[in-house]
Copies of this chain bind each other. A is one copy, B any other.
Amino acid sequence: MSDEAKSPPAARPRRTQAERSQETRNKVCEATLQALVEVGYEQISTTLIAQKAQVSRGALTHQFPTRNDMLVAAFEKLVGEWREGYPFGLDPDKEQLSVDELIDALWNNIFADGRYIAAMELMLAARQDNELGHALRDILVSWIRKRDRITVRLVGGDVDDAEADLKVQLHLSVLRGIAMHQSFDSDPQTANKLIDLWKRIARKA
């Protein structure tokens, strides 16, 4: 059995401290987002997340001293993914999207994802929590600012045009409302029909 003794936990490549930290943090954040979608905010506990992430509770609490730290980091990761993916590989300075394309892009890349609902639940749950709430809002505003500016350009509007900005806000509100509808409604087709109807109406406006 000397062979087993010499190569015990299979291949364990040497990692830097930064890599070790990042790996645990990623695993925890990913597990948190997954749990938000699967079991909901209320069920989330540090113990559950540690199990899901295949990480000891000690490692988790070392990286995230408080439960809020963990939730904030997970939220930050999600928003970061939105931020990185936007505007879907396009160059807003050169390209412009038709209304239909914009709606599809926003819907498919952000609002249709179960993670969007998870984010909504988190935001709603934290809307009164001064500590968690403020942290989440701070993360949101920077992303929202970028998102809105790029979106206005994508549809060919002037960045400083209040009317164009309002139109973008309405687009986002409509998709948000449909996403919420979808999360309650049993018929998955309704969302698509609503999207199509909104496209028809938005085209004329």
User: B174 and A173: CB pair below 8 A?
Assistant: yes
Q: Check if A127 is an interface residue, CB within 8 A of chain B.
A: yes
The reply to whether A125 and B42 contact each other, CB–CB distance below 8 Å, is: yes
Cβ of A48 within 8 Å of any chain B Cβ, yes or no, is no
The reply to whether A197 and B137 contact each other, CB–CB distance below 8 Å, is no
The yes or no answer to A43 lying at the interface (CB within 8 A) is yes
By the criterion of a CB under 8 Å from any partner CB, how many residues of chain A are at the interface? 43
Verify if A183 is at the interface (C-beta below 8 Å from B): yes
Report the minimal beta-carbon distance from A155 to chain B, rounded to whole angstroms: 15
Give the residues in chain B near A86, CB-CB below 8 Å: none
Q: What's the minimum C-beta distance from A181 to chain B, rounded to whole angstroms?
A: 5
Main secondary structure of the interface of A (DSSP, over half): helix
CB closest residue in chain B, given A200: B205
Whether, in the assembled complex, A117 has its beta carbon less than 8 Å from a beta carbon of chain B, the answer is: yes
Is A142's beta carbon under 8 Å from chain B?
no
Q: How many monomers of this protein are in the complex?
A: 2
Interface hits, A126-184 → B, CB 8 Å: 126-129, 137, 140, 166-167, 169-170, 172-178, 180-181, 183-184
Interchain CB contact under 8 A, A177 and B173? yes
Contact A194 B170, CB 8 Å, known A120-B124, A124-B124, A128-B43: yes
Bound-state CA distance A43–B125 (Å) is 9
State A183–B177 Cα separation when bound (angstroms). Answer: 13
Contact residue among B39, B140, B173, B184 (Cβ-Cβ distance under 8 Å from A128):
B39
Q: Shortest Cβ distance from A170 into chain B, in angstroms?
A: 5
Which chain B residues lie closer than 8 Å to A166 at the CB level? 193-194, 197
- Residue A204 is within 8 A (CB to CB) of chain B in the complex: yes
Question: Are B125 and A40 in contact, with the CB atoms below 8 A?
Answer: yes
14 residue pairs A–B, Cβ–Cβ below 8 Å: A40-B124, A40-B128, A120-B124, A120-B180, A166-B194, A172-B181, A173-B194, A174-B177, A175-B177, A176-B177, A176-B181, A200-B205, A204-B204, A204-B205
